[in-house]
């Protein structure tokens, strides 16, 4: 079986190459929003692909995906209310120092 370079394959390869360079560009420019946005896009894409595999090919209904997304949203909401704006270690330790030191 030979792989041909069709216009569709070239387009997919180009998009993958551009997406692979986004984190490098964001780190070089110091744009933390771009890194955060790209990370969220990748996480949601992985969830969408896994749901497609389960429901599309397997024919099984999965409520587990909704449960994980709901629990994650609930946890993020609670942490945002408490003042944690980032999942990085710096944000967590600042939160601990502010609320736990008495």
**Cα–chain-centroid distance for residue 49?**
13
Reference 37, options 28, 48, 26, 24; nearest CA is 26
What does the angle CA 59 – CA 61 – CA 67 come to, to the nearest 5 degrees? 150
Residue pair 34/22 in contact (Cβ under 8 Å)? The answer is yes
pTM of the model: 0.49
Residue pair 74/62 in contact (Cβ under 8 Å)? The answer is no
Instruction: Please write the tens of the pLDDT for every residue from 67-85.
Output: 887 888 888 888 888 887 7
Residue 60: other Cβ atoms inside 10 A: 9
Instruction: Please write the tens of the pLDDT for every residue from 12-50.
Output: 899 989 988 888 888 888 888 888 888 888 888 888 888
């Amino acid at each position: 079986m030979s792989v041909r370079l069709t216009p569709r394959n070239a387009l997919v390869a180009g998009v993958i190459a551009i997406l692979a360079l986004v984190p490098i560009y964001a780190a070089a420019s110091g744009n933390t929003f771009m890194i955060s946005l790209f990370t969220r896009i990748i996480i949601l894409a992985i969830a969408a692909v896994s749901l497609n595999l389960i429901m599309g090919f397997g024919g099984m209904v999965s409520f587990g995906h909704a449960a994980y997304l709901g629990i994650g949203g609930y946890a993020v909401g609670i942490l945002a209310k408490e003042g944690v704006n980032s999942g990085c270690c710096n944000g967590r330790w600042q939160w601990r120092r502010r609320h736990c030191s008495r």
